[in-house]
A and B are shown apart, each in its own frame.
Chain A
């Protein structure tokens, strides 16, 4: 049976990047469809009627929504290559916990860094750096969060690296100065083709953020 895989996505979305990386790691051929979020396609609305959001993974016509659920799905279906989740239940749980942490903390706090200014931004910056320092500890002595190879947390987190330059410029701070180990990890991930090909250029993301700021009327 021919496998048909489609990814509805939006180039700067860190969530979309997760699925791009997972598919690349597994060597899966798929059709990438760029969505204009101001003018969502009929396909997107049909495949994700509940949230109307990207990314949407469509496998043989059936949609899977939510990036981390997509990554788990990809890992389960194409289980014979490049496993992303560990096989040990406790290590798996730890991986799930930290991926959830990225969603709960990193994304929200990072958003507040570029969306706010003054006092609010100062607080957001402080909390953002604290959250980065906390997760940075989880790398330990390993090359990746997943150990010797790219794993679930790496896939969940590395997309945000493409937004670091934008956060730094908007917040006027250096992430490398605060979290050198994290940046070393990120650069290591970027050496991998699956990651390098899935992440947009940081300057491009920054330009996009500047446009968003203008659009939202943030100075």
Chain B
């Protein structure tokens, strides 16, 4: 049903959402990896406004912003593995939570968890745990997936949690532990086990190496570190 290209970046959860959506719907696509420090002509052409990944190109027409792309994928390939419920109210709830978790204030604690030290880090841990509690109790609840019995759009948006363990390993602090968040923990196991997800996760060793280097740099430049 036409030519599909995805411009992404190997470790970006926003790009992976798009790949997972296409995979679940059995839509073939060409994946193009972008070096975000050296953006390609193609990326700048297809997303001149934001110059970011992911971008979906379908029959030569480009769509940017992961949430917008997911809606497009759902509308274009509606039959296979629906990602949204049919009921308008339930759809509004899915959209609400995707919008919530993508908000920069809600992403920030998890980023600072990785980049920060000292007081800043402590504050980030506290905020991150509060958010995780919200997601576990109010959003996931008793369901197997955020989408219910099957993986839905919200599961894909929550997909960053599936490999957050590597970040915890590097920072040497565990926040998403099985004891405190048993349901999220179970969700991660189920999510990761799905063949489409399993085959499209960033390589563990590469993440470990790459992000360890990044973390060293943050520590080296931080004024709070003892050896600075």
Q: Is B31 an interface residue (CB 8 A)?
A: no
From B63, B100, B134, contact of A90 by CB (8 A): B63
Binding site secondary structure of chain A: helix
B88 near A69: Cβ-Cβ < 8 Å? no
Q: Is A1 an interface residue (CB 8 A)?
A: no
Instruction: Give the interface segment out of A57-65, A118-126, A182-190.
Output: A57-65
From A62, A69, A90, A97, contact of B95 by CB (8 A): A69
A90 near B65: Cβ-Cβ < 8 Å? no
Contacts A72-B92, A93-B63 known; A66 to B99 CB distance under 8 Å? yes
Q: Is B83 an interface residue (CB 8 A)?
A: no
Q: How many whole Å from B213's CB to the nearest CB in chain A?
A: 31
Cα–Cα distance between A134 and B48 once the two chains are bound (Å): 11
A97 near B88: Cβ-Cβ < 8 Å? no
B88 near A76: Cβ-Cβ < 8 Å? yes
Q: Is B164 an interface residue (CB 8 A)?
A: no
Q: Is B37 an interface residue (CB 8 A)?
A: no
B68 near A93: Cβ-Cβ < 8 Å? yes
Cα–Cα distance between A59 and B93 once the two chains are bound (Å): 13
From A69, A77, A90, contact of B99 by CB (8 A): A69
Name the residue on A nearest B100 (C-beta): A50
- Chain B interface size, as a band, is 20 to 34
Binding site for A on B (CB under 8 A): 49, 58, 61, 63-65, 67-69, 71-72, 75-76, 88-89, 91-92, 95-96, 99-100, 134
A93 near B71: Cβ-Cβ < 8 Å? yes
- Since A89-B72, A100-B65 are in contact, a sample of 12 more A-B pairs with Cβ atoms closer than 8 Å, ordered by chain A residue number, is A62-B89, A64-B89, A64-B96, A66-B99, A73-B92, A76-B88, A93-B69, A93-B71, A96-B67, A96-B71, A97-B68, A134-B49
Contacts A92-B72, A101-B49 known; A72 to B96 CB distance under 8 Å? no
- Residues of chain B within 8 A (CB-CB) of A72 are 91-92, 95
A69 near B71: Cβ-Cβ < 8 Å? no
- Residues of chain B within 8 A (CB-CB) of A66 are 95-96, 99
Q: How many residues of A contact B (CB 8 A)?
A: 22
Binding site for B on A (CB under 8 A): 50, 59, 62, 64-66, 69-70, 72-73, 76-77, 89-90, 92-94, 96-97, 100-101, 134
- Residues of chain B within 8 A (CB-CB) of A65 are 96
Cα–Cα distance between A102 and B13 once the two chains are bound (Å): 24
A97 near B63: Cβ-Cβ < 8 Å? yes
- Residues of chain A within 8 A (CB-CB) of B95 are 66, 69, 72
Cα–Cα distance between A50 and B101 once the two chains are bound (Å): 12
Cα–Cα distance between A132 and B68 once the two chains are bound (Å): 21
Cα–Cα distance between A101 and B96 once the two chains are bound (Å): 17
- Residues of chain A within 8 A (CB-CB) of B89 are 59, 62, 64, 73
A100 near B68: Cβ-Cβ < 8 Å? yes
